[in-house]
Amino acid sequence: MKIDRKDVYRVRAGAINSINKYGTKFDTVELNAYFCIPVRNRHGKIIAFNELKTGMPLVKRVYLKNECWDDEHEDMYYPYAYDKTREMMQVGDIDVQIDQDYNTEALRRYAKWSKENITASLNCLERNSIQLTCSGYDSKQPMDYYNKKLFLCYLDDDFIIISARRNPLGILTGYREIITGRKVIRHSGDEYSEFDNIINLNRQLMDPDIEPIDRSILATRELSVAEFEDYMDLTPEEVEAKISNYLAKLSRERVLDYEPTK
């Protein structure tokens, strides 16, 4: 197989292990490195990278709108690139880093891999990423299970499972609990800070602040399968009891905080 090194890029795939409060990658675990060839549009810009031997799409390059730099871009793992519902990266996702900083011998060794082995490696990449970084991994579950857009709202030592709700403009407005279906958290904020309030069923009572929901962690990746299934077996009344008990605890704590000292 004749290879022109100038046209070959290395793609290092890593499993995202943690994400900072700004929603950007913080730490990754190395998975594998693949060699790819670029796909260019009619203007000569690289728009994607396909794996060298199999031709499988691996990375999509998305150009960002910027008045100063017309070549500013973001490289995205291909299966995620067209999912408009993914507002941010999640722990267990795949991060890709592209360079040409490799020696020729590494490329020669890679060229000796069979197409079958490379295909098998690519096909299990997402599953390996979940296994390395997520405590809820279970080999019996399909990837669809791990990509459910569900999040956790912790109530001290307890939790509820929620889904994000948006207005017609796509702006996050709050969260619904998945069993009762009711809106349990109101979301507000700006580009600098976010605020979440748990909603009290009694509208005459206050809706206390809670820690902002961490949307970088999906519920099915964090919980064990047994924990997730046990939650889904709860009745709506049991879910409401969880929330009511937590609100009552917060209320008692407020009373203690404001109790005058003798």
Q: What pLDDT does 80 receive?
A: 87
Q: What pLDDT does 72 receive?
A: 83
Give the H/E segment covering residue 248: helix 236-258
Output DSSP code: residue 88: S
Give the H/E segment covering residue 60: strand 57-63
d(CA 98, CA 35): 9
- Asked whether the predicted pLDDT for residue 67 surpasses 90, the reply is no
Query: Which among 73, 59, 62 has a CA at the least distance from the CA of 125?
Result: 59
Q: What pLDDT does 254 receive?
A: 67
DSSP readout, 189-233? E-SS-EEEEEPPSSTTS---EEPPP-TTS-HHHHS-HHHHHHHHT
| Residue 84's pLDDT band (cuts 50, 70, 90) | confident
Q: Are 239 and 179 in contact (CB under 8 A)?
A: yes
Phi-psi region of 158 (alpha: psi -120 to 50; beta: other; left: phi over 0): beta
Alpha-carbon Rg for the chain in angstroms: 23
C-alpha distances (whole Å) from 77 to each of 15, 46, 133 are: 11, 15, 17
d(CA 192, CA 194): 7
C-alpha distances (whole Å) from 161 to each of 113, 169, 219 are: 44, 24, 7
**Arithmetic mean of pLDDT, 235-246:** 95
**Arithmetic mean of pLDDT, 194-207:** 83
C-alpha distances (whole Å) from 219 to each of 112, 151, 169, 225 are: 40, 5, 25, 10
Residue partners of 227: CB distance under 8 A and separation at least 6: 136
- Asked whether the predicted pLDDT for residue 202 surpasses 80, the reply is no
Question: In degrees to the nearest 10, what's the CA dihedral of 41, 43, 45, 50?
Answer: 20
Q: What pLDDT does 193 receive?
A: 80
- Asked whether the predicted pLDDT for residue 205 surpasses 60, the reply is yes
**Arithmetic mean of pLDDT, 233-252:** 93
Q: Are 128 and 30 in contact (CB under 8 A)?
A: no
Centre a 10 Å sphere on the Cβ of residue 140 and count the other Cβ atoms it contains. 6
